Each structure stands twice: as structure tokens, then as C-alpha cells.
Amino acid sequence: MKTISLVKPDDWHLHLRSGPAMRSVVEMSAAQMGRAIIMPNLLPPIKNTNQALAYRAEIMEALPSDLSFSPLMTLYLTDKTTIKDIESAATEPNIIAVKFYPAGATTNSQGGVTSIEKISPVLEVMQKLDVPLLVHGEVTDANVDIFDREEVFIDKVLEKVVRNFPSLKIVLEHITTKTAVDFILGSSKRLAATITPQHLIANRNHMLVGGIRPHYYCLPVLKRQKPDQKALLKAATSGNPKFFLGTDSAPHDRHEKESACGCAGVFSAYAAIELYAAVFEAEGAMEKLEGFSSIFGPDFYGLPHNQETVTLERKAWKVPMQYEFGGSQVIPFLAGTELSWRLVK
């Protein structure tokens, strides 16, 4: 196989940042993706319709006119989010969902949700108005080991939300464990999950053996090869529509990551579809790539498939060691290595 054409993919979980940093990376996603769900964890976070639309306008302004790319915005859920906030977002087609960060779980999540009880009335309205809940699935309890935080979240929080809100649409974002895969498989159609390139390509050995590699560090943290990475590979390439593309590409200034206290986030947007293509090819499942990348996501959100197509060609190329990023640099995932597929531009 020398080339492969796909319905243009979408990225259902993307961090674009803002200001000069956003302007450095937005074109990369726009070149690959028809749409992307833009995460609201800016400083300060995007908490209401006006802020989301202003952020969207900033992104649109930064886009070159020859690229058709539609940013789908999200609100950052807090203990103080009101029913009015949800009602207003629900009437706005460019706002697609609400993002639930447990307070303190990840980058800029300090203002997130402190307890599920506090947001019950808001979840009730989201269920009624069919606004999906996007979940960062990790508990933040200091007594829970960081490698167990997703499993404990599923057991202690998500299970309850699913039970109490039986028709709320939920996406468990960037799943990392076999437990998460099994939970998704065992639940109804209104529950789905995104899977990132790094959780398919790497496991915690890549991050920790032979030296600590900060550019592999993201949250939820990379888990074991067996059973976790293997379960993710199987789920992504299975053709089950409950699993779809969400890169969680999360660029940070290299100095913020190469530090005594480096922050979480892997930057993959520069070659998102090429990274997934490498995974699907290695798994002998190239024919399943289009469903995962371009079909199951829009079907879950009730949106049309993209009209355009993209072509990938088999052509070895070397990932740059760095990209310009808001006047500094960002180190891409797999910097300096060779990728075998390239998007034809």
C-alpha cells in the first residue's frame, strides 16, 4: 500500500492554548482535521458562552483563509456553573460540550469540580438538553496512587454519574487502562471514549526506563504495556464506534516540561493522523483507521461526516527536534524519530 485516502478526520480532544502559543500550533491541526473540540483549560478558564465565542473568534482569526477548520468549543465546568450557563451554551451550535476536570487533576484544573454532588443540578439540565459531558477521569485524592487514579475514578465517580443520569451523553477522555476499555464496552451507546496517540504508542517504560523523559509525561500518566496499552490498541483498532480519535495534543514550552517539576502534556498535533496511521498499520488494521478517525466521532456527536478527504502516502520523514512555540519551542512527541506515513498537503 503506497497511499491511503480517508474522509477528513476530526480531533475530538485538543488543547490549542491562546495568544502567540495558539498561533504557532493551530495551523497544524487545521491542516489535518475538519473539526476539533477545543479544551477550555486556559488561564483563566473558558466558563461561559461569551468567553467560548470570544476564544473561538481568536482561533478563527489566526487561521489561514485557505483552510476550512471548525473549532467546536467547550465550557469548563466548576462548582459554580449555573443552569443558565448550560442553557445558553446549548443554543449555540459552536459550543458542543462541557468539560469536567476534577479540581487539581491536571494542567489548569484548580478551578474544576470539587464534588459530583455540587454539579448534580447542572448535569440534570445537560441531560435534558442533550449537552455531552467530557470527563477527565482521574481522582485527586493524595492517598490514591497516580497509576490507579483512572480506575478509582471509574469506580467511585463515573459509575455513579452513569447510573444517576441514564441518558446523559458522556465521553471518557484519553483513556489509559484496560479497566476503562472494559467499562466503556460494558456500558450503553451514550458512553464513548477517546484514545490518544501516545497511549497507543507508548507505555510507562518509554517514560521511565534509562532516564526520565519529560516529553512522554502527560495525564492520565502512561500505564503498563500489559494489560493496559494492549487493551487500548485492541479497542482503537476493533472498529467499535465507542472508541474514536482525540489526540489530547497539549503543547507546553519546552522549559516548562524540562524542569525539576515538569508539567503534563504531549504535543502530537503536528502529525496526529500520521501517528495513528502508524499504529493501525502495525496492528494490521489499516482498514479500521477511517472509522476511528473520521466516522465514529461525528456519529457520536450527531454531526455530519466531513465532505473532504485526505490522503496519506507512505514516505519516511524525520520528526523535527522542535517547533517554534510562542517565541520559544515545543518538543513534539517522538522528536527526531522517523515516521512512515505523511499527509499529502
Give the footprint of ligand NCD on this chain (CB under 6 A).
Answer: 15, 41, 106-107, 136, 218-219, 248, 250, 264-265
Asked if 322 contacts 330 with a C-beta cutoff of 8 angstroms, the reply is yes
Nearer Cβ to ligand NCD (35/136): 136
Can you tell me the distance from the alpha carbon of 50 to that of 87, in angstroms, rounded to the nearest whole number? 13
- Report, in Å, the least distance between residue 249 CB and ligand NCD: 9
- Report, in Å, the least distance between residue 197 CB and ligand NCD: 12
CA dihedral 307, 235, 173, 219 (to 10 degrees): -130
Q: What is the 3-state secondary structure (H, E, C) of 171-202?
A: EECCCCCHHHHHHHHCCCCCEEEEECHHHHHC
Nearer Cβ to Zn ion (138/248): 248
Which residues carry out catalysis?
248
Nearer Cβ to ligand NCD (123/218): 218
Nearer Cβ to ligand NCD (228/248): 248
Asked if 78 contacts 111 with a C-beta cutoff of 8 angstroms, the reply is yes
- 274 is an interface residue for Zn ion by CB under 5 A: no
Task: Report the DSSP beta bridge partners of residue 192.
Answer: 171
Binding mask 201-240 for Zn ion (x = CB under 5 A): ----------------------------------------
- Report, in Å, the least distance between residue 87 CB and Zn ion: 26
Residue 252, helix vs strand vs coil:
coil
Query: Quick one: which of 248, 253, 274, 290 contacts Zn ion (CB under 5 A)?
Result: 248
Can you tell me the distance from the alpha carbon of 52 to that of 229, in angstroms, rounded to the nearest whole number? 34
Contact residues: Zn ion, CB under 5 A: 248
